[in-house]
Structure formats: structure tokens, C-alpha cells
Amino acid sequence: MNLTNLSRYLSLILRHKPEAIDITLDEHGWANVHDLIDGIAKNNPGFDMDVLEEIVRTDNKQRYSFNPGKTLIRANQDIPFRLTWNYPEMEPPE
């Protein structure tokens, strides 16, 4: 199992094409880890949580983040523009 190729594939899924493995991202770019693993493992037998954690841990550009419970994952960079950030609307200072 080539971790570099898997990392590139993971990046493609989380940044541009979640539909490639039939998953969806929430409005903040988070994907369900279980669904992600199941989707990638269909074409990459042996892909599991241990492999995913190794990719996240060893990525020299720190491309990915887990939520605290490791139930969600997202790309840290180049999040698609379709995401909304839910910042409160504010008046600019004078």
C-alpha cells in the first residue's frame, strides 16, 4: 500500500471530489471518517483507521485534520469555495 498515492487520493476526495467514493462533506468541509474509510477501502483493500491516522500524522504539509473524537476529517487547505463559515455579520468600524 503506497501511502503517498493514498494521501493524494485522500486530498482529491476531501478537496474536490467526495462524490468519487459516494460521500458528502458538511458545510465546513468535514467528512465522516467511517464513510471515508469504507469508500476508499472498496478500491484499496487494507485501508483502515490505522492507515488513515498514519497519513494524517506523517503528512509533511499537514493537509488533514481530525476533530477531537476522530469521527470527522477535513482538508486544511484549499477548502472548496462552496463552504460557508457562519461568521456573525458585523458593521465595519468607522
Give a three-class secondary structure readout of 70-89. Answer: CCEEEECCCCCCCCCCCCCC
| The predicted structure's pLDDT at residue 78 | 61
Asked if residue 30 lies in contact with residue 57, where contact means CB atoms within 8 angstroms, the answer is: no
Determine the residue type at 84. Answer: T
Give the length of the chain.
94
C-alpha cell at 74: 477535513
pLDDT in tens, 14-69: 999 999 999 999 988 999 999 999 999 999 999 999 999 999 999 988 999 999 99
Q: Is 44 exposed, middle or buried (0-12, 13-18, 19+ CB in 10 A)?
A: middle
pLDDT grade for 6, boundaries at 50, 70 and 90: very high
pLDDT grade for 79, boundaries at 50, 70 and 90: low
C-alpha cell at 91: 458593521
| The predicted structure's pLDDT at residue 30 | 95
Which own/partner contact pairs does 46-49 have at CB distance under 8 Å and 24+ positions apart?
Answer: 46/1, 47/1, 47/6
